[in-house]
Structure 1
Amino acid sequence: MSSFFNWWSASYTTEVRYSKESPLVVTKEQHSNTTSVGLRDFVERRCPSLYSEFRPAWWLPNGHMQTLYCVLGKFSARDKVVYKRTLLRLLDGGTLGLDFTPVDDSHLPPDTPIIVVLHGTHRRAILSPACMPVHQGGLGYRAVVVNFRGCAGVPVTSPQLYSAGHTDDLRQALFYISHRYPEAPLLGLSFSLGANVMTRYVAEEGERSRLKSACILGCVHRLFATYIGRHVYSKGMGRNLVNLLKRHLGTFNPDHEVAKAAAVTIALTNPTIDLFDEHFTRIGGGSSPPWPFASANDYYEYSSSHNVLSTIKIPLLAINAADDPVVQDVPMDVEGDGWVIMALTPCGGHLGWFEPDEGWGQVRRWIKRPVVEWLRATGEDFVRSPPRWRPLHEEGGFLKEVGIDRLGCRELDGSNIIVGTEGEAGLLAGL
Structure 2
Amino acid sequence: MSFLVSPSALGVAALGTLGYLLRQRYIDGCRIELITSDPKTSAIVRQTESEGTVTLRDILFAKCPSLTDPELARMVPTPYLATGLLQTIYATLRIRLRDASSDVEYARELLTMADGATISLDWYPKIEGEGPVALVMSGVGGSSQEHHLRALAKYLAETSSAGFRVAVVNHRGTARTPITSARPYDSGFTEDFRSAVAHVRRRNPQSKLAGIGFSMGANILTKYIGEEGSSCILSCAVCVCCPFDISVSGAAMNKSNLLNNYVFQPAVMSTLMRAIKRAEHLTLDPNWNIDHERVRNAKRLWELEEQLLVKIGGYKDLNDYYVNASCTNYVDNIDIPYLAINSLDDRITPPHGIPMAKFAENPNMALALVPHGGHLGFLTGLPPKIWFIKPIDEFISSIFR
Smaller-chain TM-score bracket: 0.7 to 0.9
Q: Deviations over 1:205-234 (max 9, x none)?
A: 001112111000011232253634553423
Q: Once the 2 structures are TM-superposed, how far is the Cα of residue 79 of structure 1 from its aligned partner? A: 1.4
For the residues of structure 1 that align with 2:346 and 2:23, how far apart are their CA atoms?
17
Answer whether contact 1:26 1:35 (CA < 8 A) is retained. Answer: no
Q: Larger C-alpha radius of gyration, 1 or 2?
A: 2
Give me the whole-angstrom Cα distance separating, in 1, the residues matched to 2:286 and 2:349.
33
What is the CA–CA distance in structure 2 between the aligned matches of 1:25 and 1:86, rounded to whole Å? 35
State which of 307, 319, 322 in structure 2 corresponds to 1:297: 319
Deviation at 1:71, TM superposition (A): 2.3
Cα 1:24/1:308, change in 2 over 3 Å: closer
Q: Give the match for residue 5 of structure 2.
A: none
Highest RCO, 1 vs 2 (Cα 8 Å, sep ≥ 6): 1
Closer, same or farther: CA 138–217 of 1 in aligned 2, 3 Å: same
Among 22, 30, 35, the alignment partner of 2:52 is: 35
2:303 to 263, 269, 275: 275
**In structure 2, distance between residues paired with 1:37 and 1:100:** 31
For 1:365, give the aligned amino acid: I
1:3-31 deviations in Å (ceiling 9; x for gaps):
999766321111110135633414366xx
Q: In 1, distance between residues paired with 2:271 and 2:399?
A: 35
- In structure 2, what is the Cα distance between the partners aligned to 1:231 and 1:374? 36
1:174 aligns with one of 197, 200, 213: 197
CA RMSD of aligned residues (A): 2.5
From 78, 84, 100, the counterpart of 1:63: 84
User: Shift in Å at residue 240 of structure 1?
Assistant: 3.2
Which residue number corresponds to residue 321 of structure 1?
Answer: 343
- Give, in whole Å, the separation in 1 of the partners of 2:160 and 2:185: 36
- Which residue identity does 2:228 align to in structure 1? E
| 2: CA distance, partners of 1:43 / 1:276 | 40
How many angstroms apart in 2 are the aligned matches of 1:274 and 1:7? 41
Give 2:292's aligned residue: 263
Q: 1:49: which partner in 2?
A: 66
Equivalent residue in structure 1 for 2:162, among 129, 134, 139: 139
Contact 1:215 1:316 in 2 (8 A): yes
State the match for 2:380 in structure 1: 355
CA contact (8 A) 1:187 1:379 kept: no
The Cα offsets for residues 91-142 of structure 1, whole Å up to 9 and x where unpaired, read as: 2111110111212755xx3xx110011115222222212101xxx6653111
Q: 8 Å contact 1:4–1:58 — kept in the other structure?
A: no
Letter in 2 for 1:117: V
- Aligned with residue 9 of structure 1, among 19, 25, 38: 25
Change (3 A) 1:292 1:3: farther
Change (3 A) 1:158 1:77: same
**Aligned equivalents of 2:216, 2:19: Cα separation in 1:** 32
Is 1:379 aligned to 2:400, yes or no? yes
How far did residue 247 of structure 1 move? 2.2
In 1, Cα distance between equivalents of 2:198 and 2:332: 24
Higher deviation after alignment, 334-343 or 310-319: 334-343
Partner Cα distance (1:247, 1:26) in 2: 45
Cα offset, 1:153, TM superposition: 0.7
Higher strand share: 1
Match of 1:117?
136
Change (3 A) 1:40 1:155: same
Whether the 8 Å CA contact 1:237–1:272 is kept in 2: the answer is no
Q: Which amino acid aligns with 2:132?
A: P
Equivalent position amino acid for 1:41 in 2: D
Match in the other structure for 1:149: 172
Query: What is the rounded CA distance, in whole Å, between the counterparts of 2:353 and 2:19 in structure 1?
Result: 26
Q: Distance in 2 between matches of 1:201 and 1:42?
A: 24
- Following superposition, the deviation at residue 77 of structure 1 comes to 3.6
Going from structure 1 to structure 2, the CA distance change for 1:3 and 1:125 (only over 3 Å counts) comes to farther
User: Is the 1:214–1:315 Cα contact (8 Å) retained in structure 2?
Assistant: yes
Partner of 2:185: 162
CA shift for structure 1 position 34 = 4.6
Normalising by the residue count of structure 1, what TM-score does the alignment of the two structures yield?
0.77
Contact 1:149/1:161 (8 A) holds in 2: yes
CA shift, 1:292, in A, is 1.2
Equivalent residues of 2:126, 2:165 under 8 A apart: no
Question: Which residue of structure 2 lines up, in the alignment, with residue 25 of structure 1?
Answer: 44
Q: Name the residue aligned to 2:276.
A: 245
Note the C-alpha offset of 1:80: 1.6
Residues 338 and 104 (structure 1 numbering): CA distance in 2 closer, same or farther, change over 3 Å? closer
Report deviation, 1:254.
Answer: 4.4
Task: Give the structure 2 partner of residue 309 of structure 1.
Answer: 331
Contact 2:182 2:279 in 1 (8 A): no
Deviates more, 1:36-45 or 1:314-323: 36-45
Instruction: Determine if contact 1:235/1:273 at 8 Å carries over to the other structure.
Output: no
In the alignment, is the contact (CA less than 8 A) between 2:46 and 2:55 conserved in 1?
Answer: no
Once the two structures are superposed, residues 23-74 of structure 1 have per-residue CA deviations (whole angstroms, 9 ceiling, x without a partner) of 3414366xx6352133212211111111311110101111111112112233
Q: Does 1:217 align with 2:235?
A: no
Q: Which moved more, 1:70-79 or 1:270-279?
A: 70-79
Aligned partner of 1:203 in structure 2 is: 226
Name stretches of at least 5 consecutive residues in structure 1 with no aligned partner.
285-290, 381-431
Preserved CA contact (<8 Å) 2:85 2:259: no
In the aligned structure 1, how far is the partner of 2:182 from the partner of 2:46?
45
Rounded to whole Å, the distance in 1 between the matches of 2:310 and 2:20 is 45
Is residue 119–residue 177 contact of structure 2 (8 Å, CA) maintained in 1? Answer: yes
In 2 relative to 1, CA 292–137 (structure 1 residues): closer, same or farther, beyond 3 Å?
Answer: closer
